[in-house]
């Protein structure tokens, strides 16, 4: 009887660990981080590049739900405004700024964008940067490439 109980407990623990592993996308590092904590993010300025769609859009919504002040960047301003509207409709107290940028632009332009980002939210600077944008290079052999 005791053996049966031990076997059932072991199987239950194994099933629980398997479930946790699967819901962390099979990522041990992610698993060890635990749940996202609001106290780490609430009121912090988070700059997310590639925020106009895909993973960046989902990240933006997640950070807004944890109380972050957001700077959303990508090239397409209209799409960034759509993401901003969506966030505010779900989290009306959110503070969200849209800062269009093109990662493939020259160094001076990028420096200007960085200065703009730092001066948003009463020059509070940037607490976290989620550099998620995909920089699409031309095809090999395409214009400007060998």
Ligand X SMILES: NC(=O)c1ccc[n+]([C@@H]2O[C@H](COP(=O)([O-])OP(=O)(O)OC[C@H]3O[C@@H](n4cnc5c(N)ncnc54)[C@H](OP(=O)(O)O)[C@@H]3O)[C@@H](O)[C@H]2O)c1
Residue 61 beta carbon to ligand X: minimum distance, rounded to whole angstroms: 13
The residue with tokens 């590049």 is 49
Q: Could you please report the per-residue DSSP string of 1-64?
A: -HHHHHHHHHHHHHHHHHHHHHHTTT-HHHHHH-S--HHHHTT-EEEEETTTSHHHHHHHHHHH
Closest CB to ligand X among residues 81, 127: 81
Residue 57 beta carbon to ligand X: minimum distance, rounded to whole angstroms: 7
Distances in Å between the Cα of 61 and the Cα atoms of 28, 38, 80 are: 24, 13, 12
Closest CB to ligand X among residues 33, 134: 134
Residue 53 beta carbon to ligand X: minimum distance, rounded to whole angstroms: 5
For the chain, the residue count is 146
Closest CB to ligand X among residues 26, 92: 26
Closest CB to ligand X among residues 15, 104: 104
Q: Contact residues for ligand X (CB under 6 A)?
A: 49-56, 74-76, 79, 101-104, 132-136
How many Å apart are CA 116 and CA 120, to the nearest integer?
Answer: 6
Residue 109 beta carbon to ligand X: minimum distance, rounded to whole angstroms: 11
Q: Which residue has the CB atom at the shortest distance from ligand X? A: 54
Contact call for residues 125 and 118 (beta carbons, < 8 A):
yes
């Amino acid at each position: 009887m005791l053996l049966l109980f031990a076997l059932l407990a072991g199987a239950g623990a194994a099933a629980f660990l398997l479930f946790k592993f699967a819901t962390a996308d099979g990522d041990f590092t992610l698993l060890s981080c635990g749940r996202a904590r609001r106290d780490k993010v609430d009121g912090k300025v988070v700059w997310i590049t590639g925020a106009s769609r895909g993973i960046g859009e989902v990240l933006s919504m997640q950070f807004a739900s944890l109380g972050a002040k957001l700077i959303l960047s990508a090239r397409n301003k209209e799409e960034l405004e759509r993401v901003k509207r969506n966030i505010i409709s779900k989290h009306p107290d959110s503070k969200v700024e849209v800062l269009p940028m093109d990662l493939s632009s020259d160094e001076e332009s990028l420096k200007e964008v960085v200065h703009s980002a730092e001066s948003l939210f009463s020059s509070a600077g940037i607490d976290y940067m989620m550099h998620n944008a995909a920089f699409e290079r031309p095809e090999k052999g395409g214009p400007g490439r060998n």
